[in-house]
Amino acid sequence: MSDERFYPPVNFASLEAAHSSFDGSRVVVLPVPYDSTVTARAGTRDGPRAIIEASADMELYDVGLGIEPWKHGIHTMPELAPHTGSPEAMCARIEEVVGELLDAGKFVVTLGGEHTVAAGAVRAHAKRAPGLCVLAFDAHSDLRDEYLDSRFNHACTLRRALDVAPVTQVGLRSASVEDAAFIREEGLSFYSPRELRAAGVDDVVSKLDDDVYITIDLDNFDPSEMSAVGTPEPGGLHWDEVSDLLIAVAKRKRIVGFDVTELSPSLGPASCAQLAAKLTYRLIGLALGPAE
């Protein structure tokens, strides 16, 4: 029973024990406050906590979807400790923990932290879902094979995802000349916001395989809506555009897991954490549908 003399529990969506115990939850939120390879401005280590705090202020009825995703049960794990050995060791730790949660039958939501955390989460999912594809939201190409002596730098995130699964990307508007050539030569499906608008969401969905892992670098959004990122880029996507694409994906494909990364709460207004929390909640609803 909830005792209204006390604040609700601190977990994603502020759920009572009956709806947030590990055993009773279909969904597990894994906070990963890791930001060791970022080059511009650090601060994404505070992202997971800010998203979880902001989630206390959400309505648990998603009025856009008309469903109550919390009814699936959402368990929030303790924050994953950073491995200080190397980014590669950290990604291995994330892959191991996400893999354990998947093997326990959970739907896993990874909260970054920098986008690098996606490399570990994607690998865990790809090992268990042959034929998996990745849908990435990002302003940056992130296709470098190595950067600053590491193959697991945040500038390499989508290259590491490409190692294990085909990647379709939306939101692109910043790339090195090498990355741009790589996209052309490999014929990768990378959409700038303008290309997405011209092609339409169904064109993106047609590029995806049946099982989709979604990785979200919040800098895909326009800085007018999401300024709390270390590397903002003008000309980004808007909430309804991202939401409409995700709804179209959920209609025709199976969303098997996702991450939301790169929130650096001190760089922007509180509305940024709110957007990240609501996006996380909507994706849970889209992936799992109505609970019975």
Chain residues in the site for Mn ion (CB under 5 A):
138-140, 217, 219
Our CB check for Mn ion shows the closer of 19 and 154 to be 154
How far apart are the C-alpha atoms of 154 and 202, rounded to whole Å? 29
Q: In the chain, which residue ranges form alpha helices assigned H by DSSP?
A: 47-54, 87-103, 117-128, 157-164, 177-186, 193-199, 201-206, 239-252, 270-288
Our CB check for Mn ion shows the closer of 43 and 73 to be 43
Our CB check for Mn ion shows the closer of 72 and 140 to be 140
Q: How far is the CB of 231 from Mn ion (least distance, A)?
A: 6
Residues 6+ apart with CB under 8 A from 112: 32, 34, 44, 47, 48, 118, 259, 260, 261, 262, 263
Q: How far is the CB of 142 from Mn ion (least distance, A)?
A: 6
Residue 237: beta bridge partners?
Answer: 221
Our CB check for Mn ion shows the closer of 27 and 121 to be 121
Q: How far is the CB of 179 from Mn ion (least distance, A)?
A: 12
Residues 6+ apart with CB under 8 A from 214: 134, 135, 136, 137, 246, 249, 255, 257, 258, 259, 283
Q: How far is the CB of 226 from Mn ion (least distance, A)?
A: 11
Our CB check for Mn ion shows the closer of 11 and 36 to be 36
Q: How far is the CB of 126 from Mn ion (least distance, A)?
A: 21
Q: How far is the CB of 21 from Mn ion (least distance, A)?
A: 35
How far apart are the C-alpha atoms of 9 and 2, rounded to whole Å? 10
Our CB check for Mn ion shows the closer of 55 and 261 to be 261
Our CB check for Mn ion shows the closer of 219 and 241 to be 219
- Give the closest residue to 109 by CA, choosing from 275, 247, 282: 282
- Give the closest residue to 118 by CA, choosing from 84, 162, 78: 162
Burial category of 7 from C-beta neighbours within 10 Å (exposed 0-12, middle 13-18, buried 19 and up): exposed
Closest residue to Mn ion, judged by C-beta, is 140
Q: How far is the CB of 139 from Mn ion (least distance, A)?
A: 5
How far apart are the C-alpha atoms of 215 and 158, rounded to whole Å? 9
